Structure formats: C-alpha cells, structure tokens
A and B are shown apart, each in its own frame.
Chain A
Amino acid sequence: MCSVSRLNLLGRIKASSLLRYTLLHTAIVLVLCGSALWLVKDFSLGFYEKRQDQFVQEQLNSLSSLAKSSTEQEFRLAVEQLAEDNRQVLVVLKSSDGYLGNLNYLPETVPLSPSMGSFWILGDSVLEDGRFQRVRGSRINSRWGALVLAYNSSDFNLFVSRFTLALYAAMVLVLLVGLITGFLFSRKVLARLNTINQVTAQVGDGELAARVPVTQQGDEFDELAGHINHMLDQIEASVEAIASVTSSIAHDLRTPLSRLSIKLDGYLRKGSADAEDILGAQAELATILHTFNAMLELTKLEYGQGDLEFVQCDLSKITSEVIELAEPLAEVREQTLSLKVEQALVVQGNHQLLFRILFNLVENAIKYSPEGSEVKVIIDQSSVSVIDQGKGIPEAEQDKVFQRLYRLDQSRTTPGHGLGMSLVKVVADLHGAGVSFVRNRQTFTVKLTFH
C-alpha cells in the first residue's frame, strides 16, 4: 500500500487539494476583480479619451474653415491666440519662416484629420519623470501651412498613471486577500476530510473501534461521517459474529473429536476394536459431518447457491406431516401435540425447506417445554404459530438465536447444533416471511408471518 505520509513534503503539497483549491479560488477572484477594474477603466478613461479626440477634431475643423476665409496674417494670429489662451491645446503651425504656436516643432508622423495619432512631447511637468508626455493629435494641411493640434493631457496622463498604479495595487491586494481566504477556506474544508482520512487509515490498520467524529452542523461531511460510522458498525458486528462462530465451531467440534481421539486411544491400548466400538466412533464422525453439512447448506441457501424449486405449498398439509413425524417425540415427553387450521394458507415456496423449518420449530417446542405440557400449532390466513408452555427465549437473546451455532444453553450440553434457528431465519427470508416471538404469561409463541 502506498501511504500518502511516505511521500516527501513537496510531493504532499503538490498532491494536496489545498494548494489547488487555493490557487483556483484566487484565480477566480483575480479574474473577476480584473474584469471589473478593466470595465471601470475602459468606461471612465476611455470615455475621457474619446472626449479629448472630439475636442481636437472640433478645434481643427474651426481652424480649417478659418484658414479658408482669412489672410495668412489673421490665421497666424488666431493660432498664436489659441496657443496662448488654452492650456489644454498644443498647436504648431509650420509656416514659411519657422514654427508657430506652443510647440517648437511639427512632428511629421501625425496623421491627417480625422485620423488621430500619438506622439511624444517634452512638456513642463511638475514631476521629474514626467518631462516626456505622450499626447494624441491630428493634422491639417491648410493653405497657410501644415498644422498639428493635440490635447495637452499631461494632467490626464498623470491621472492615468496614478489610476493604473491604484489598479495594480488593488489587484495585488486582491491576490493577497484571495490567497489568504482561499487558503483558510480550503484548509477548513480539508481539515474535516483529513479527520475522516485518519479514521479510515486507523481502521485499515486494524483499529475497528475507531469512529469519525460527527459535528452538530449536519452538513455533507457529517452525512459522510455518519455513513462511514454505520459501515464500521456493520463491519465490526460482522467481525464479531465471525469470531463467535469460529469459537463455537471450535468448541462444538472439540468435544466429539476429543471423544473420538480417546476412543481410538482405548482401542489401541486394548489392541483390538469390535464392531460396537467402530459404530461408536462412526457416530461421533457422523455428528461432526452433520454439523459441517448443516453449515454448508445454510451458507448455500443464504447466498442463493443451488437451484431451489418453488411451487404452491399448502402449509396446513405440510404442518400435519410435521406433526405426524413429531408425534413420537411428544409422546416420550407425555406432551399433547395439536394442529388448528383457522384458514387455509397456501404460499409459493419450497416444500422440503418449509417442512424442515416447521419441524425444527415443533421439535424445539417439544424439547424446551416441560413434560406433560401442550404444544399447539395454529394456522391463519397469513401465519403459522407454534405455541408451547416452555420458558421461551429471553428478550435480550431473541436476535442472537439466529446466529450460527448460538446456544441459549451457554454450557452447550443440551443436544443440538445451534443451527436450527439459523435455518429457520434463512428459509423464512428466502420465502419473504418474518419470524417473531410473543411471550405470554403461560405460553411462548414463535410466529412465521408470510407477506
């Protein structure tokens, strides 16, 4: 078995769902936050940029029409005026005798209106690193020379850079918070899985009594814990039953086997064995074989091995055959044996098996009730009841009598194999019938109810 604990630490971290869930959670949070911030940026800054482009185009349009209607002198004055009046406007006119406006050069790369292009300028920014600014502008070729107009967005650029910085800071914060919460959340969930893991590992190592703690929350983990605990209860019960059956087998077989051994020793000492001796030994062997066969048969019946013939069975008819066979036993104990059929009961079943379990029940009634008492069998529309006047089965042991080789008599001296009631139970199950016990003041009833 490859235990997780044998892997190295790094391997464990990699294999653990904790890391994967934490990262997944963080990634989701990051994507969501990133999209939200991107939308905010696009809507606010993008909108502002469009407004700037619009402004540039409007200014260029009016300059363009002015150039058509004015003299060169008037146009130059208008450009100078615009450059001086409006801090937002960057304008440069390339005239025959140099550059006019508030820029000292006309960048040739700027596209013609209405296209917009961006270019570098060296501005007068308050910030050390803000001397160079990227601005957006457009160009017209008027009859008085080429003109480029741009929006002086140094303030805006500063705002954008601050905004972007805030954006990244927010993302880093989200990343950190996401990692921490993701880690805590995943750890909490996985801690509970770990307790379940540990318990199952303990059980795997043989500690059958270990149980998963169940909290008060009643969530899926508690449900899982409940199922696991139930399963462990079942396993523990099965293991106990096997242990008990094993010791019972050992006990039941030891007595006849040791008797056989003693007998054979005696024959050896005597130097010979007559027919009677051999018959005695054979009888011991027969007892042992009978026990084995009975157990094998039970197992076969229980696990549905072998083909069983199911036919319509009249239970009153079977019961009268049983009573006929048991009559001599009752006579020995001076008991009266009677059958009362209140209503005929016909079921789908195996005649031979039904006969055997009814015989078992009647035989038990005869065996365990006092001499001279009365054993009655009553058949009604759905059940067969065997009523005797014995002391019956104590309530605490009523479940256990169906176990293999279980004996009410703990000394195991009363003759029997402790398999009779087991057979009753198995056959009743095969026929979809239930077995119940009813204790009255003077009588004890075993009732087979067919559904």
Chain B
Amino acid sequence: MKLLKEAVLGLFLVSTAALAGQEDVLLRLALENAKIKPEQAIQKITDRYSGFLSEFGIDDEDGSMVYEFTIIDPQDSVELEVIMDADSGKIWLDEKDAISSNALKRKKYQLLMNSGMTLKKAVDEAQKIVPGQLVEAELEQEKGIVFFEIELLTDKGERKVIVDLQSGKPIPVTR
C-alpha cells in the first residue's frame, strides 16, 4: 500500500491527470489493482443472497478497498448492508434493518422486485452509452420516476447515467 501511495504521489505531481482530480486518479489505480472487480463482486453477491440488490458503492476500510452492497430481502422483510473485501473477497454483514411491509409496498421497492430490472442489468445499460468503470449505483425515486443513479469512471472523470426501472432504458442527462 505504501508503494501505491508513493506511486500515486509521483503521478499526481507530474501527470496531467491531476486535472481530473486526485480522487479519480486514486480510485482508478485502486480499481486497477483490485483482485476482484466491481462486476465480479456484484455477481458473487447476487449468487449468494436471494434478495434484490439496490445499492453498490466503494469505500476504504482501514486502508484497504471494500465494496458495499445494500440488499432488499422481501421474504424476511429486511434490508442488509453487506461488505466485501476487494482483495480477499471476504464477505461480512455490516447491518441488518427491518423494513415494514408498508415500506415494501412503496413504488420504489415494488418496481425493484417486479420490473425485472436489476442493478446488474442497469449497469450494463449504462456502460453501453458511457464506457467506464462502475463506481457507484443507487436506487432512487424522484417525481414518480424510479431509477438507478449510476456513477461511471471514464477517462474524462466521473459520469452519471440514469436508468429508468419502468422502461429499462436510460434517461438522458445533460452534460
């Protein structure tokens, strides 16, 4: 890790990539070095848990990169927060919250469970229009639209793609 940081510092000092922001560069390097890529991690989680994946994120835990997942499990009426180590692939449960049956009836969760659209498919759609590395994906609802807000890391920095659950298609984002 120490080596990585030195390398980053060196890059930061000389590279034009500094224009895209230090965070992006760090993240790109971290992702390149990770043994398990985000897409693989999603596949593992989907295989292991029976619920619906509603969130994906990348975080730093004690100096090592981890993936964070939120899973909605309507059968047990719970929301699970699961963490996976990007290097070892070790998975552990971080939090387990009950979801009331009323909350599960909300449009957001109903579409997640019944539209046939999954976080994985949404990411595929997003990468079709913006080629980039998955950094974050989150289930949201605004103005009656239920969508995955997906952040992709491209050569030009982070890009946002919105995928509508109802149609399964992206919603154009201004740039």
Residues of A within 8 A of B (CB): 90, 92, 98-99, 102-109, 119-124, 129, 131-132, 152
Contacts and interface: CB of A to CB of B under 8 A. Distances in A.
Contacts of B161: 104-105
A122 B143 contact: no
A132 B172 contact: no
Nearest to B161: A104
A121 B142 CA distance: 12
Interface string B153-175: 00000011110100101111111
Contacts of B175: 102-104
A132 B143 contact: yes
Contact of B159 (A92, A104, A107, A123): A104
A102 B174 contact: yes
Given A103-B175, A105-B129, A120 B170 contact: no
Interface of B: 129-131, 142-143, 145, 159-162, 164, 167, 169-175
A119 B167 CA distance: 12
B143 A121 contact: no
A105 B170 contact: yes
A124 B174 contact: yes
Given A104-B161, A129-B143, A131-B142, A122 B173 contact: yes
A92 B173 CA distance: 10
A132 B164 CA distance: 12
A124 B161 CA distance: 14
B163 to A, nearest CB: 9
Given A98-B129, A99-B129, A104-B159, A121 B145 contact: no
Contacts of A104: 129-130, 159, 161, 170, 172-173, 175
A131 B141 CA distance: 11
Contacts of A131: 142
Contacts of A121: 171-174
B142 A103 contact: no
Contacts of A107: 169, 171-172
A131 B159 CA distance: 16
A122 B129 contact: no
Nearest to A90: B174
Contacts of B167: 109
B104 to A, nearest CB: 24
Nearest 9 pairs of A and B residues by beta carbon: A103-B172, A105-B170, A105-B172, A122-B173, A132-B143, A121-B172, A104-B173, A105-B129, A120-B171
Contacts of A152: 174
A320 B173 CA distance: 124
Chain A CB within 10 A, most for which of B130, B142, B143, B172: B172
A298 B173 CA distance: 105
Nearest to B144: A132
A119 B172 contact: yes
A369 B174 CA distance: 123
Given A104-B159, A104-B161, A92 B172 contact: yes
A181 B95 CA distance: 60
Chain B CB within 10 A, most for which of A103, A122, A123: A122
Contacts of A119: 171-172
Contacts of B142: 129, 131-132
A98 B155 CA distance: 15
A132 B160 CA distance: 14
Chain A CB within 10 A, most for which of B130, B162, B167: B162
B169 A122 contact: no
Contacts of B171: 105, 107, 119-122, 132
